């Protein structure tokens, strides 16, 4: 039976990398502790997320329609992470790297690069959100190093894929489960993540479930561990590793009688990063199973599908 291990990031690199690699071949999910993000940084980001979601709808709407795809406030009903199911029972804000008009990708009109809308009436909001985003980004860079080491590559081997990445922080609010829900309607419908690494800070409520056996339909809940972060792999990683490491389907159940909040960092590599099998993950007996893709094109097509725009 596949389990989601708790991994401390405090040990020597080789040991941590081995533990991370083992989790990546099994659950594709791990719970990390000793991750180095100060508890106060996490606490403040949660507090600011709650403060935003408590605003009246018309004030939240100031962050909608940003002109950049996968950015800003998405009211409940805007997305189905499982294609073809009723809309997810959650609202969220997608915060990207805040890039001005002179940034080369912004100038080139590359999708998903550009400035964020910031609420102008919540002092401290931007600072708290950016502090968490930046800390979680750093953690993802460290995790990329562990992934590389665990695959027999130099620690910095994957860094060039994330020189100027699409990295989006999702502040999510799941409402209490309504009495009446449609068949298959969840807080986040069953999906895989679209990028490389996702880091999830969940509150104490639980409800994040992982499909560990597709044939048997077995879901297990990601353990709720005080001060931990859940890490999971997105679709780029099986492509790099020829399925040695897995991007598992997961979902979020709405809690009964209370709200749930989470902070999800999608570390999605450079738009133009070409993703193909790494040299240590293929050989004469194990030819590449995937055609190369551009990370950003994959991401955008999955995003558009989720909002019914493709
Ligand atoms: O809120 C969570 O715990 C995870 C949400 C998720 O899987 C996603 O947004 O991709
Ligand atoms: Fe996800």
What is the per-residue pLDDT for 248? 98
pTM here is 0.97
Distance 90 CA to ligand 2 centre (A): 13
Give the ligand 1 atom nearest the CA of 208.
3
Question: Does the beta carbon of 186 lie inside 6 Å of ligand 1?
Answer: no
Question: Does the beta carbon of 171 lie inside 6 Å of ligand 1?
Answer: no
Question: Does the beta carbon of 169 lie inside 6 Å of ligand 1?
Answer: no
The fold of the 6-309 domain, in CATH, is: Jelly Rolls (2.60.120)
Distance 146 CA to ligand 2 centre (A): 21
**31 touches 3 (CB < 8 A):** no
Domain extent listing, the chain: 6-309
Cα→Cα distances 59→56, 118, 119, 218, Å: 6, 11, 8, 41
> Is the ipTM, as predicted for this complex, more than 0.90?
yes
> From the CA of 168, which ligand is nearest?
1
pLDDT along the chain (310 residues), means of 10: 96 98 97 98 98 97 93 93 91 98 98 96 96 98 98 98 98 94 89 98 97 96 97 98 98 96 98 98 98 98 91
What is the per-residue pLDDT for 121? 87
Question: Does the beta carbon of 250 lie inside 6 Å of ligand 1?
Answer: yes
Distance 80 CA to ligand 2 centre (A): 12
Question: Does the beta carbon of 208 lie inside 6 Å of ligand 1?
Answer: yes
Question: Does the beta carbon of 202 lie inside 6 Å of ligand 1?
Answer: yes
| Total residues belonging to the chain | 310
Question: Does the beta carbon of 241 lie inside 6 Å of ligand 1?
Answer: no
């Amino acid at each position: 039976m596949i389990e989601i291990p708790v991994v401390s990031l405090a040990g020597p690199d080789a040991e941590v990398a081995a533990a991370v690699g083992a989790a990546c071949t099994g659950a594709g999910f791990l719970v990390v502790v000793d991750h180095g993000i100060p508890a106060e940084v996490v606490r403040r980001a949660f507090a600011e997320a709650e403060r935003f979601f408590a605003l009246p709808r018309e004030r939240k709407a100031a962050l909608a329609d940003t002109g950049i795809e996968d950015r800003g406030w998405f009211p409940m009903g805007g997305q189905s992470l499982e294609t073809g199911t009723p809309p997810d029972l959650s609202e969220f804000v997608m915060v990207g790297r805040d890039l001005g008009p002179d940034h080369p990708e912004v100038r080139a009109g590359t999708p998903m690069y550009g400035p964020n809308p910031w609420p102008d009436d919540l002092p401290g909001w931007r600072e708290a959100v950016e502090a968490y985003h930046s800390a979680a980004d750093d953690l993802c860079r460290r995790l990329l190093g562990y992934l590389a080491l665990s695959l027999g590559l130099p620690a910095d081997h994957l860094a060039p894929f994330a020189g100027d990445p699409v990295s989006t922080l999702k502040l999510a609010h799941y409402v209490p489960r309504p009495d009446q829900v449609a068949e298959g309607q969840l807080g986040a419908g069953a999906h895989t993540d679209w990028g490389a690494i996702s880091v999830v800070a969940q509150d104490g409520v639980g409800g994040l479930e992982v499909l560990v056996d597709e044939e048997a339909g077995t879901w297990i809940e990601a353990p709720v561990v005080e001060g931990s972060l859940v890490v999971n792999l997105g679709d780029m990683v099986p492509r790099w590793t020829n399925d040695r490491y897995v991007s598992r389907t997961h979902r979020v159940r709405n809690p009964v009688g209370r709200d749930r909040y989470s902070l999800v960092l999608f570390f999605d590599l450079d738009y133009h990063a070409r993703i193909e099998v790494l040299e240590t993950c293929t050989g004469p007996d194990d030819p590449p199973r995937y055609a190369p893709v551009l990370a950003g094109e994959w991401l955008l097509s999955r995003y558009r599908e989720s909002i019914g725009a493709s």
